[in-house]
Amino acid sequence: MAESNQPTGEDCSGNCASCPSATKCDDPRKTEAHGLPPKANVNVKHVVLVLSGKGGVGKSTVAANLAYALSNHGYKTGLIDLDIHGPNIPKMLGVEEAKLQSYDGKIIEPVRVTGTLGVVSMAFLLPARSTPIIWRGPMKMGVIRQFLEDVHWGDLDFMVVDLPPGTGDEALTIAQLAPNIAGAVIVTTPQDVAVMDSSKAAEFIKKLELPVLGIVENMSGFVCPHCKEEIDIFGKGGGEKEAKELGVPFLGAIPLDPEMRRAADEGRPFIIRTAEDNPTWASINNVMEALINEIEG
């Protein structure tokens, strides 16, 4: 049993489900009654967690476009929207009005966006868009297991998980339940306050003894549509600098682009509606290719 981040015979409380080191702990008191639940039964090669240290950095936009890009490249992809209190993925993918269907009383069919991309989200279960989710941790944990195990995903190459900001119940639960986690992508914007919080997300993943696949700097620079001059509204380079300091890969920078915002509002992922010579399109595609290289290279 490693000394760092691991409970010892003197200080172990037995509450393994809330301990980030429980997956590696060999304390004999970690019984089935107090230990972690079993991994969910999902046939997926690579699970990729997408998270951020704070809200408003475009994490869901990156997750949606990343999943769509993987699907476009022929990978069988699942996308789980685990931002339970603020599910936006269905809106961004143009399937906001869809509802989850089930058969045999249990098996849930994901909403199909393309032939190779399926998605599940709490948004598909709400009676109205304005309905709030008022849940404590145990209910979140239950629905996360359902989204993994009770959904007819089939055989997947990738499962992209869009997480809420921070390092709370949802992130810890998916890390404990999901099989074959390739690692996490941390999304930040360039300014110091976002980079500072992104470092906390990266350290959280390290404490879970999972790989940090890399950092993505979103809203990195803005090219004026009129004069074509690049303006660093939120600064530039903060994410790359943080990646070097943390010793993790830098997957790339995505510029601030009004067309990306418009695409999300209209429910048509940016990655499918712009020509390949567009710099923003190329940046998203480059991030996707860098991620695949980190996982498979």
- Do 216 and 243 meet the contact criterion of CB atoms below 8 Å apart? no
- 3-state SS class at 266: helix
Q: CA-CA distance, 68 to 53, in Å (whole number)?
A: 23
234: left (phi over 0), alpha (psi -120 to 50) or beta: alpha
- Do 109 and 153 meet the contact criterion of CB atoms below 8 Å apart? no
CA 32 to chain centre: 29
Ligand-binding annotation for 57, yes or no, is: yes
Ligand-binding annotation for 59, yes or no, is: yes
Q: Kindly calculate the radius of gyration of the chain based on its CA atoms and give it in whole angstroms.
A: 19
Ligand-binding annotation for 58, yes or no, is: yes
Ligand-binding annotation for 54, yes or no, is: yes
Q: At a CB cut-off of 8 Å and minimum separation 6, what does 212 contact?
A: 183, 184, 186, 202, 205, 206, 246, 248, 249
Ligand-binding annotation for 53, yes or no, is: yes
- 3-state SS class at 40: coil
- 3-state SS class at 72: helix
- Say which residue the tokens 């699942």 belong to: 78
Kindly give the residue spans of alpha helices, DSSP state H, lying in the chain: 59-72, 89-93, 137-149, 169-177, 192-207, 238-246, 258-266, 270-273, 279-296
Known binding positions for ATP: 53-60
Known binding positions: 53-60
